[in-house]
Amino acid sequence: MKILTGNDLATGDVVWWTGSGWSRHVEDAADVGDQGEAIAHAEEGARRVNSPYVIDGEQSDSGPRPAHIKDRVRALGPTVRPDLTLKPADPDAANRVL
Amino acid sequence: MYRYDQYDQNIVDTRVAEFRDQVERRLSGALTEDQFKPLRLMNGLYLQLHAYMLRVAIPYGTLDGRQMRMLARIAREYDRGYGHFTTRQNLQYNWIKLSEAPDILADLATVEMHAIQTSGNCIRNISSDQFAGAAADEVTDPRPWAELLRQWSTFHPEFSYLPRKFKFAVIASDEDRAAMRLHDIGIQIVERDGTFGARIYAGGGMGRTPIIGKEIKDFVPVTNLLSYLEACLRVYNRHGRRDNMYKARIKILVNDLGAEEYARQVEEEFAAMETLDIDPPLAEFERIAGYFAPPAFDANAPDEVDRSDPDFAVWVDQNVKAHKQSGYALVTISLKPVGGIPGDASADQMDVMAGLAERYSFDELRVTHAQNIVLPHVKKADLYALWQRLSKAGLAEANLDLISDIIACPGLDYCSLANARSIPVAQKIAKRFSDAKRQRELGELKLKISGCINACGHHHAGHIGILGVDRKGTENYQLLLGGSGAEDVSLAKITGPGFDEAGIVDAVEKVTDVYLNARTEGERFVDTYRRVGMEPFKEALYG
């Protein structure tokens, strides 16, 4: 599957294209197929996202996730600061994500 | 410490207003990202792995208590309560909102700080010896020279779009605490016949092509320093490659031309510049130097230290160094607690360090390229009280220059360029060697980790270096041995095939075991490596 990601223009937050908008949670990501570049262009033009790009994704038990470790770290947050990740209540999140 | 004059303050304030307008235009859509990116980078604002990252310049690593308190306040109000001190003596915030960046820069400007030229293909923050003005072995304080370079290089119109970024380091002692020869231009202030001048090294650097800088001039008087450096930059700006960013640094040019030919061209340019009269008068240099006059030391301060508390004595032996003034000492505050993140400090810790600088060190702090903090002028009589307060704040790790005093770049946990994580490897190694006696038994051992080939973690200069790479989507770590960024500068060599995260920790332990078995009296790890060569280490690693 193909996933579209970028950063929120104003806040810099990592965001994922859901099919109708942007979410901070990778589990909400939609398979954009071959439409990623077109969506990215339109969304960047509308100033809803900064520097969007398409990556390979894969299905996991908890939903879509990036195929490459770099974007999995982007999806989670720094693995060395579990208190700053999107799931701070889950100390094992880094191990499962990686 | 140098203080801004009205001119300095005006240009920084003007830049803040200019950037505020640029951010507003970006958020309104008047500027595209392609248009805005070079503008934000000129103000130290990157888009990193998780968010915008702001790199704040700390000129030659020197700051005072109010500046450190401001860094703490910004961490607390605009970021997530901490900052990361870098190998270029700067500070990085990892969670900045674009919409708030102008307010942060405005706050920084109130304490004579900024983020200008902490990115881009320009002359970056001038780095220097963290013990400047206090080291017993320096011929003079190198910081007036560094400040002169800061003023010359700030907004220098000819050097704002160089082929690549450009880094200076200035030291004034034979002992090199600033990795001077691994900078684009390294400057050592020397004394000759009663006058000071600069010995110039060019073409050093790490990254994907590590090269040790070569001496191109043995003595440039301060009255000609800027015109000589201007000539160095002009030759680079003219001939440095712009077709390939990986071959664009001055080290490639100097290597391709040969140091002698590069020096010859610099001399030619230098001679042609004599009539331009760009050097400031000596009086201006002396005006700058006046800001760095020694503080009012107590000439009667006692030299004795009560070492009856054994934990305190260990810290003194490891983290306290000789000062040029009797009765005083140089204190390094380690930002490398076992299990911590190298170089990170919480806002609360920054406030504590600011308060301790004000109370015990004439209101001065220094950031080291090894990602620690120095209090440069502490009365020996105050060391015990200082240590007690550091201990309460979790800042009294007694591990300076030991194996757990690891330089580590942010790596894949924060950096969009990284291929592998650096911090978890540093944490695991520090935990493996957490026994303090074991660390001291190993002695001076500089371990440096980079998460990619750009080498921000100085792995080429590590007695033990570790380079994280991406091997088919998996983190892999190469081990290097024998590097040094000090006066015995050398580049580390790769041992062989890489290791996974657990394997690299075991590998480090194996090479330290080889060292312990092979060393002779007084040898450091790197000395033993240089004597016995790579083979015994390879044998232990790969059998």
Let me know whether B167 and B276 are in one domain: yes
CATH of the domain at B480: 3.30.413.10
Let me know whether B147 and B266 are in one domain: yes
In a domain, B271, yes or no: yes
Domain that holds residue B41: 6-109
Which structure tokens are listed for B122?
């320009």
Let me know whether B262 and B372 are in one domain: no
ipTM of the complex: 0.95
Let me know whether B218 and B260 are in one domain: yes
In a domain, B508, yes or no: yes
In this complex, the residue of A68, A74, A79 whose CB is nearest that of residue B473 is: A68
What residue of A is the nearest CA neighbor of B99?
A10
| CA dihedral for B216, B221, B224, B230, sign (positive or negative) | positive
In a domain, B118, yes or no: no
Let me know whether B276 and B155 are in one domain: yes
| Contact list, A79 vs chain B (CB under 8 Å) | 413, 421, 424
B196 in contact with A at a CB cutoff of 8 Å?
A: no
The DSSP 8-state label assigned to residue B413 in this structure reads G
Let me know whether B159 and B263 are in one domain: yes
In this complex, the residue of A44, A69, A79 whose CB is nearest that of residue B424 is: A79
Let me know whether B428 and B530 are in one domain: yes
**Structural contact between residues B384 and B390, judged by C-beta atoms closer than 8 angstroms:** no
Which structure tokens are listed for B374?
């120095």
In a domain, B116, yes or no: no
Q: Where are the alpha helices (DSSP H) in B320-474?
A: 347-360, 383-392, 423-432, 436-442
Per-residue pLDDT of chain B (543 residues; tens, 9 = 90+): 999 999 999 999 999 999 999 999 999 999 999 999 999 999 999 999 999 999 999 999 999 999 999 999 999 999 999 999 999 999 999 999 999 999 999 999 999 999 999 999 999 999 999 999 999 999 999 999 999 999 999 999 999 999 999 999 999 999 999 999 999 999 999 999 999 999 999 999 999 999 999 999 999 998 999 999 999 999 999 999 999 999 999 999 999 999 999 999 999 999 998 888 889 999 999 999 999 999 999 999 999 999 999 999 999 999 999 999 999 999 999 999 999 999 999 999 999 999 999 999 999 999 999 999 999 999 999 999 999 999 999 999 999 999 999 999 999 999 999 999 999 999 999 999 999 999 999 999 999 999 999 999 999 999 999 999 999 989 999 999 999 999 999 999 999 999 999 999 999 999 999 999 999 999 999 999 999 999 999 999 999
Let me know whether B528 and B420 are in one domain: yes
Give the whole-angstrom CA distance, residue B306 versus residue B465. 38
Phi-psi region of A78 (alpha: psi -120 to 50; beta: other; left: phi over 0): beta
pLDDT band at A96 (very low <50, low <70, confident <90, very high): low
CA B461 vs. chain centroid, Å, equals 13
Tell me whether residues A77 and B427 touch, CB distance under 8 A.
no
A74 in contact with B at a CB cutoff of 8 Å?
A: yes
CATH of the domain at B93: 3.90.480.20
Give the whole-angstrom CA distance, residue B129 versus residue B332. 13
The domain tally of chain A equals 1
Domain limit, last residue, from B392, B416, B437:
B392
Best of B35, B49, B341 to substitute, by most chain A Cβ atoms within 10 angstroms, is B49
Confidence (pLDDT) at B211: 98
- Residue B305 phi, psi dihedral angles, 5° rounding: -125, 130
In a domain, B1, yes or no: no
In this complex, the residue of A11, A47, A78 whose CB is nearest that of residue B29 is: A47
| Contact list, A50 vs chain B (CB under 8 Å) | 33, 47
Which residues, including other chains, have CB under 8 Å from residue B28's CB and lie 6 or more apart?
A: A47
Let me know whether B366 and B234 are in one domain: no
Domain limit, last residue, from B362, B392, B422:
B392
Give strand ranges (E) for B141-263.
168-171, 185-192, 195-202, 214-221
B50 in contact with A at a CB cutoff of 8 Å?
A: yes
Domain limit, last residue, from B254, B289, B324:
B289
In a domain, B39, yes or no: yes
Q: How far A34 CA sits from the closest chain B CA (Å)? A: 23
The domain tally of chain B equals 4
B30 in contact with A at a CB cutoff of 8 Å?
A: no
| Contact list, B412 vs chain A (CB under 8 Å) | 69-70, 73
Give the whole-angstrom CA distance, residue B365 versus residue B117. 22
Give the whole-angstrom CA distance, residue B308 versus residue B36. 59
- Residue B532 phi, psi dihedral angles, 5° rounding: -95, -15
CATH of the domain at B324: 3.30.70.3340
Domain that holds residue A76: 2-96
Give the whole-angstrom CA distance, residue B189 versus residue B197. 6
Give the amino acid at B520: T
> Counting Cβ atoms within 10 Å, is residue B28 exposed (0-12), middle (13-18) or buried (19+)?
exposed
- Residue B85 phi, psi dihedral angles, 5° rounding: -80, 135
Is pTM beyond 0.95? Reply is yes
